Amino acid sequence: MGFMGTLTAALYSALVVYLGGWFLGHWIGDFALLLFLLTVVTLGYWLAERFYFQPQRERAAAALETQHASRRADLARQGIAQVDGNVEEAKGRLLMQPWWLDWTAGLFPVILVVFLLRSFLFEPFKIPSGSMLPTLESGDLILVNKFEYGVRLPVINRKIIANGDPARGDVIVFRYPPDPRIDYIKRVVGLPGDEVAWLNKTLTLNGQPVATGPLPDYYDEDSQRYTEQKNETLGPVNHRILLRADRPSFVSGAEAFPNREACRYSAEGVSCKVPPGHYFVMGDNRDNSIDSRYWGFVPDRNLVGRAFFVWMNFGNLGRIGGFR
């Protein structure tokens, strides 16, 4: 198979092991890093193919054609016009890419386009839980706008061009502050400088209750139960929230987190002053969401983008469409 074939087989084996362990839950994968590495590796193969392997094959094919022409000339001088062998078929074999180049250099343009689109424009995510019900359901496949909150370098997520900031009511994807390897999705409730309070299951911003209105109870097919549902208005965004009457108001199990001194916990709930450069986020399924009430604020550096569109739900095609 040769050295390059063996090397490529080893790289593909490592990729299969990594993806298999990720799928089975043995470790947390980093798709952005994986895609970056695939782009770099396939670029290396593409450059090697463009400037070394392809010219080498073309030289071999040219030499074969020269040898064939010389042989035909020698035979012609001897009066032999018929020459055995198909030189074009032999040249085709010489010019053909080996499998290890076809599956690396040949994939580079596709992987590069996916990497650029995912890094700077739109990224797909899958909703893993019901913390954003009724806005988003488990199994929804969503798109996230990657440039609305600034252009960021892939993998390290460092902002290089400021382009805007989250607004109240935005549904955002971000790197989970206690473990940035994990992506979370919640709704922005508090902006930098806001005083956010969740007391007796009532949300207030800067001392003013957030406007809500009654809605028919929500039926959750998974749990087969009805839950109180309300309409809530955050800035220009009207959305629905769920409340469970059997859940207490106080926040139990809050972790130690940066800027925890900005929050005050009591039997009625929690109130927090959002630090500069941070955001307070909550799930729409208020009594079934582990969010800023428990683990603190989302730093701007952890932002990934704004979620805005359900592009597929294999269990319910009617879910496809935009959302706020």
Average pLDDT, integer, range 80-100: 80
Which residue bears the tokens 């805005």?
308
Tell me the HSE value of 227 on the side-chain side, using a 13 A CA sphere: 24
What pLDDT, on a 0 to 100 scale, did the predictor assign at position 92?
85
Quote the mean pLDDT of the chain: 92
Average pLDDT, integer, range 280-303: 97
Q: Which of 197, 294, 291 is nearest to 252 (CA)?
A: 294
What pLDDT, on a 0 to 100 scale, did the predictor assign at position 1?
62
| Alpha helices (H) along 132-225 | none
Active site residues: 131, 186
176: pLDDT strictly greater than 80: yes
Q: Render the burial of 4-29: b for 16+ CB within 10 Å, e for the rest.
A: eeeebeebeeeeeebeeeeeeeeeee
Average pLDDT, integer, range 303-320: 94
Average pLDDT, integer, range 290-319: 95
Average pLDDT, integer, range 176-200: 96
Asked if residues 8 and 103 have their Cβ atoms less than 8 Å apart, the reply is yes
Average pLDDT, integer, range 128-154: 94
What pLDDT, on a 0 to 100 scale, did the predictor assign at position 222?
73
Which residue bears the tokens 């971000």?
174
Mapping DSSP to helix (H, G, I), strand (E, B) and coil, where does residue 5 land? helix
Give the amino acid at 247.
R
106: pLDDT strictly greater than 70: yes
Write the pLDDT tens digit of every residue in 5-30: 999 999 999 999 999 999 898 998 89
Average pLDDT, integer, range 301-306: 96
Q: What is the DSSP string of 271-306?
A: EEEPPTTEEEEE-SBGGG---HHHH--EEGGGEEEE
Structure tokens at 119: 């890094």
Q: How far is CA 172 from the centre of its chain?
A: 12
Beta-bridge mates of residue 152:
159
320: pLDDT strictly greater than 70: yes
The percentage of the chain sitting over the pLDDT mark of 70, rounded to a whole number, equals: 98
Average pLDDT, integer, range 43-57: 95
Asked if residues 253 and 231 have their Cβ atoms less than 8 Å apart, the reply is no
Q: How far is CA 225 from CA 218, 219, 232, 244, 288, in A?
A: 8, 6, 22, 11, 14
Write the pLDDT tens digit of every residue in 205-255: 999 999 999 999 999 877 788 999 999 999 899 999 999 988 998 998 888
Asked if residues 149 and 136 have their Cβ atoms less than 8 Å apart, the reply is no
Residue 323's region, left for phi above 0, alpha for psi from -120 to 50, else beta, is: beta
What pLDDT, on a 0 to 100 scale, did the predictor assign at position 84?
63
With bands split at pLDDT 50, 70 and 90, how would you rate the model's confidence at 94?
A: confident
Asked if residues 294 and 253 have their Cβ atoms less than 8 Å apart, the reply is yes
What pLDDT, on a 0 to 100 scale, did the predictor assign at position 85?
62
77: pLDDT strictly greater than 80: no
Asked if residues 137 and 283 have their Cβ atoms less than 8 Å apart, the reply is no
Domains of the chain with bracketed CATH:
2-115 (no CATH), 124-322 (2.10.109.10)
What pLDDT, on a 0 to 100 scale, did the predictor assign at position 18?
93
Structure tokens at 266: 């009591």
What pLDDT, on a 0 to 100 scale, did the predictor assign at position 82?
65
Using CA atoms, how far apart are residues 272 and 294, in angstroms rounded to an integer?
Answer: 11
Average pLDDT, integer, range 71-80: 74
What pLDDT, on a 0 to 100 scale, did the predictor assign at position 103?
94
Using CA atoms, how far apart are residues 108 and 45, in angstroms rounded to an integer?
Answer: 8
